[in-house]
Chains A and B, each alone.
Chain A
Amino acid sequence: MSDIFFYITAAIYLCSTCVYTAYLFSRKDNLISFAEKALITGFVFHTLTIVVRWIEAGRTPATSLHESLTLFSWLTVVLFLLMLVKYRQRVLGAFVSPFALILILTASLLPKKIIPLSPVLESYWLPVHVMLAFLGNAFFAIAFFLGIMYIIQEHYLKSRKLKGLYFILPSLDTLDELNYKCLQYGFPLLTIAIITGAIWSEYAIGSYWDWKPRQIWSLITWFLYAALLHGRLTAGWRGKKAAIFSGTAFMILLGSFIIINFVSGGAHGLSQ
């Protein structure tokens, strides 16, 4: 059942991504409205996919890489929709939609089998840790897109040739402010995720920290984002520099997450 919803979600995200792309080229308002409607419809099916999977598995669906990517994609869309309501930055959707689509497509290539979770890992910490970690990542993902938008807009303003996306992208200040806000939420979430991960590890295998690759890489990204926040607060890092920094940090985060889970087969290798 969750498979059907999964494929419907993928199809609708593909549709919304195409319309968003068409919008970027034509800049017609009715296109973005349509794309948003499509994205929201896709999101409804996405939610169903996750709910059904949760019931079928009887636990938080985040143990295989397939499940993790589906959940991550879902949380990114959730966050985007919340920000759409609050800040009305509609163009952001043109970046979130393809990202959600790519995550879903990647997930579709991976084994969808429900992997039984070893009893030692059954714990309240599973949903808490997983949700916080992915929500934090979703904030970083949005910060990443805002950074890209900033760099594009800055390029137009610096080159003094105003055309294309210049007309639909928000102001530099708005982009920079939102980027900063995302970090302000994302960083504490990442911190708590690392701590809850450690506590969970203590419950499950009796040690808080044993320098597994997953733990090392989380620490590296944590330090990167800490440095970025510090630079913003004290040295006045902003704009392009901050955008590039947060972009790099997010690539490292995403890359390490996928590679580690791909090599270990999900749940940071804890499920086997």
Chain B
Amino acid sequence: MNLIIVGLNHRTSPVEIREKLSFPAQTIGEPLRKLTNHYGLNEAVILSTCNRVEVLAITGDIEKGTWQIKRFLSEFHDIPLNRLDDHLYVQQGENAVKHLFRVGAGLDSMVMGEPQILGQVKDSYGYAVQHNTAGVIVNKLYHKAFQVAKRIRSETKIGESAVSISFAAVELARKIFGDLTGKSAMLLGAGEMAELAAKHLQSNGVRDIIVANRTYEKAVELVKGLCGTAIMFREFPHFLKNVDIVIASTGAPNFIIKPDQVHDVMRERKQKPMFFIDISVPRNIDPLVNNIDNCYVYDVDDLQGVVASNLQERKKEAEEAEKIIDEEIEKFYRWIKSLDVVPTIIALRQTCDQIRKAELAKAVQSLGSLTEKDQKVLDAMTSAIVNKILHHPVTHLKKESNKIEGDLYIDTIRRLFDLTVDEEAVKKAQNNDD
């Protein structure tokens, strides 16, 4: 099996190149068909996202195939190959399998372990199936890749910790309050980032959201999207005791929440914890509030620190993921190896011959007194039957194995006759060939 991946990603190329090379999903059928019909590739898949463009193909000749894909990319997008070549990477054989598994699991993504890429890889495979450019190897390969990604997701914590500021805020809130169901939040200022964090909180169960903004109308407008309550800005201190989470993002040049005030609030709410998220610069919440028992204050830098340490944590998990990938590649190659035509034919012959011999022995025993000559005749006859029955399947198998669908034939024969690979026999056969 000759597998190649040629492509570029956010690390090897600037966005100006990536955008020129992208394939829109609506019209992806044409390039896919071109790859198999005009460029001589057996099977082809195109993955096109904002961070990467890759062509995966199965071909008879690796060097030629690689050249053909490069030529295709250049010709299809009308970019001279010499401008493109520096940005392109080529992965062949086992490296290509590894690359696909890593991409699917998000290990090659800009944000380590992000889950969207898996959906995009699934889509790219879907297009290939739809346009008939996916054969037995691509099918197996992609199903394996999805399986690997799933295994990595369940066996490592690669996707668990938040890597954006607004998610990090939600995650912190969950570490403080546990379940966020029924908790309430207050937005001070109606900024975009605050709104985003509030939406995340809401989808995690936060029920009441109070919005206070200097321009009351803006608060009312924001509240519509969040199903909360808008209040006048000067009234917000009276509402503090009822909220668990405060997100501040006003343009105020000074602290609008101070320790004394929070002390009183905490007494009123019987020391129930409060979480202050200060995403405004200059800051709106006095950092000294953090010193009050059961109060936690995080500003933008703190949240960025959280994101950084989460990414660090993901890198640690990535090592585990790489191990899983190596394991799965080995399994995949065991299957690929079984698709060689020679061992399949040997195994097929052996299986049939074993049946013949066993049945022959039984017959000889029940017939009793047979001369040596009789036995020889029986032996020759049964051999001839087996050989004649196998003659056409074996010739076809040899012929078809060089074609696109060849692996499908081999795989089918293996399944129908329940053949296992006999490593010894394979070696023997290979030695005989030499």
Contacts and interface: CB of A to CB of B under 8 A. Distances in A.
Interface of A: 28-29, 153, 157-158, 160-163, 166-167, 170-174, 177, 235-241
A240 B293 contact: yes
A162 B306 contact: yes
Nearest to B306: A162
B177 A171 contact: yes
A139 to B, nearest CB: 21
A257 B271 CA distance: 34
Interface of B: 155, 157, 161, 172, 174-179, 270-273, 290, 293-294, 296, 298, 302, 305-306, 309-310, 313, 320
Contacts of B309: 161-163
B175 A166 contact: yes
A244 to B, nearest CB: 11
Given A160-B305, A167-B161, A236 B272 contact: yes
Contacts, number: 58
Nearest to A163: B309
Nearest to B183: A173
A171 B176 contact: yes
A26 B296 CA distance: 27
A157 B175 contact: yes
A171 B320 CA distance: 26
B387 to A, nearest CB: 53
A157 B296 contact: yes
Contact of A172 (B175, B179, B290, B302): B175
A28 B157 CA distance: 9
Contact of A171 (B155, B157, B174): B174
A239 B178 contact: no
A158 B296 contact: yes
B271 A236 contact: yes
Given A162-B306, A172-B273, A239-B271, A157 B294 contact: no
B322 to A, nearest CB: 15
A238 B305 contact: no
B305 A157 contact: no
B305 A172 contact: no
B340 to A, nearest CB: 36
A161 B178 contact: no
Contacts of B302: 160
B305 A171 contact: no
Contacts of A237: 271
Contacts of A160: 290, 298, 302, 305-306
B178 A173 contact: yes
A29 B156 CA distance: 8
B267 to A, nearest CB: 8
Nearest to B298: A160
A104 B294 CA distance: 37
Nearest to B168: A162
A157 B174 CA distance: 12
Contacts of A29: 155
A158 B177 CA distance: 14
B272 A172 contact: no
Given A153-B175, A157-B175, A239 B161 contact: no
29 contacts: A28-B320, A29-B155, A157-B175, A158-B290, A158-B296, A160-B298, A160-B305, A160-B306, A162-B306, A167-B157, A167-B161, A167-B313, A170-B178, A171-B174, A171-B175, A171-B177, A171-B178, A172-B175, A172-B178, A173-B176, A173-B178, A173-B179, A235-B270, A236-B271, A236-B272, A238-B272, A239-B271, A239-B273, A241-B293
**Looking at B161, B178, B290, B320, which has the most chain A CB atoms within 10 Å of its CB?**
B178
A161 B310 CA distance: 11
Given A171-B174, A172-B176, A173-B176, 10 more contacts: A157-B176, A162-B305, A162-B306, A163-B309, A172-B273, A173-B178, A236-B270, A236-B272, A238-B294, A239-B294
Q: Which 8 residue pairs spanning A and B have beta carbons closest together? A: A236-B270, A173-B178, A171-B178, A236-B271, A160-B302, A174-B178, A171-B175, A162-B309
B264 to A, nearest CB: 14
A177 B273 CA distance: 13
B37 to A, nearest CB: 49
Nearest to A153: B175
Contacts of A174: 178
Nearest to B309: A162
A157 B272 CA distance: 16
A79 to B, nearest CB: 21
A53 B388 CA distance: 78
A14 B313 CA distance: 29
Nearest to A170: B178
B175 to A, nearest CB: 5
Nearest to A159: B290
Contacts of B313: 167
